[in-house]
Structure 1
Amino acid sequence: MKRISSYLFTFLAFTGLSLLTSCGDDTEPTPEEQLEELPAANGTVQIKFLNYPDPASGNLKVTAASGDVLAVAVQVQKTANGNRPQKLRVYETTTINTRGKQVGDVIDLRNTDEAQIKNVNYTVPNESGPVYLYFEVDESASAFSRKMMEVTISGSAGVSAYPNLTLGAQTNAAPSRISSATGQLYTACNAAANMDDIDITYAYIGTTPVILSNPERKTKYNLSTEAKNCGDDVTNDTSGGPNTVFVKNNSADFANPTDATLSALTFTNAPESIVVAKDDIIAFRTEDGRNGLIKIDNITTGVAGTVQVSVKVQR
């Protein structure tokens, strides 16, 4: 399975949506409704694609190859004196400004004023023309907000690069988890809602800095998996997630990897955690079959310390 991002593109394995003109109705649009012109959005919620920079003007446009998976880090946040978000819905269409077909299932949002992130994964179809993706958020007060992404279908598989990422150890305030598909960093509170997408994490175990899968935090090292004070008055569970494996490979070409060279990396009996040192190159394979490389740029030791890494990964 492959994914694609522009420099840093995340709301979870796609959930689809029902017709937004009837908020809370999870029925898939009929063929007639799919061709209807979109109603104007009337909401106040702010929608951002964190790993795609907002254009100075107009709609966001990206290019991807047929069969690639667009990985989008979607941030949803209540604005001052605005409505709270409730659900995220995603639609695809080849005719701009029409409803189109829903993609996946409805994504439930936390009832909070805090910013929340969801990873959305979209497989690019075999089409000649562009595809339009509409990200719509149901809000309180029967309102909704919308943001569009235009996908031009062209090219072949490539490599996504995310330089200069800082991860915090257990008592450091910096996020400790990464979605390699998007380069998005997660604190514990946002991790709880995005476990399926988090495949690289950091911890300082005893006297050693360790890169590890998220499940390994609990099963091998018994680190805390509870996130509290997340703005929703509940304890959020941060255990689980995909089982990424790692192996040291200091001979790998980190400067100029290609889809082919990353695909050729081997992981026989590779573990889900690995001790690292500055300037190490760590190869990793995600549970969904993407290969990548991590370069350890710098380490500040201790459970209050950090690690700076750069990541390159198949799209």
Structure 2
Amino acid sequence: MTSPYRNPRTTSTASAGKASLTGALLLLVLQATLVACGGAEATRPALTLEGASNPSTLKVGETLSLKVSLQAEGEIQSLDVTRKVESDEKSLQSLTSSFQSATAHTFDFSYEVENFPGKSIVLTFKATDKQGGTASKEYTFIPQRSTALREWKGITLGGPSHSTTGNFFSSTTGEVFTKAQASTNVAKIDVVYMAYSSLSYFVSPSKVGEEEGFESIPGATLTEYQYASSTFTAAQFDAMGDDTAIANLDIQESEDAFTNGSIMLFKTADGRKGIIKITGRTSGAAGSITMDVKVQKYPAR
């Protein structure tokens, strides 16, 4: 006859076997679910930069050119380029469309080196795909100071009563403006010519309101002039091909008049230093002057 009592040892072994089988089945189901949901691990985008193998020779104002190539199996979402110098950061480019294909894009990137001589400029290229994957590359260089000059030859400025020719000048663009045009072009103007009777002289745009018949111009900036400089001759002025001769000068403002053949130094509000040679002069408020100008393209920092 079968005993009404179960063997405790037999019952325990059977229960353990069932538990192990159940756990194994659950593990298999979980693994299958993970494979079905996750699939293979997504490949991140790939970025490459080509060009400018010797960035240490770059100067302020020159152009850096790079070829940028992007591959993204997860399809391209965006490509962003930023520039950072210390805490100063700004966006240079942001692409979210017009890619050559859904998974690949190549383009030529150019950047005019800003005026940060001796400081590290970091360009960051960041790609993002539609799966959320990202890739980034940094391009770092330290630009050299630019010694380039802007040169303006044969510029004519009229006296304050001249019938047609203006007496306001931009050393950045080489443009001449009349009194009526001055207020709308004040951001460009840094040299102003004045003449009365036999006197000819320059004034700062910020001090135009002190002259007879002129009103102050909102937003006008300060330009300092140094007259009667014994540092330069006409021959030295003509020979200047870069800013070496003026970059380190301490320009001391002085108030004086000039005549034909005079050479004067000046410094603009943004720190650019320049030199003016007077090549022709007709005295009086209705007269005019002709001048040659050489000025730093970028202020020395």
Give TM-score, length-normalised by structure 1: 0.47
Higher relative helix content:
2
User: Per chain length, whose mean CA-contact separation is higher, i.e. which structure has more relative contact order (CA < 8 Å, sep 6+)?
Assistant: 1
Give TM-score, length-normalised by structure 2: 0.49
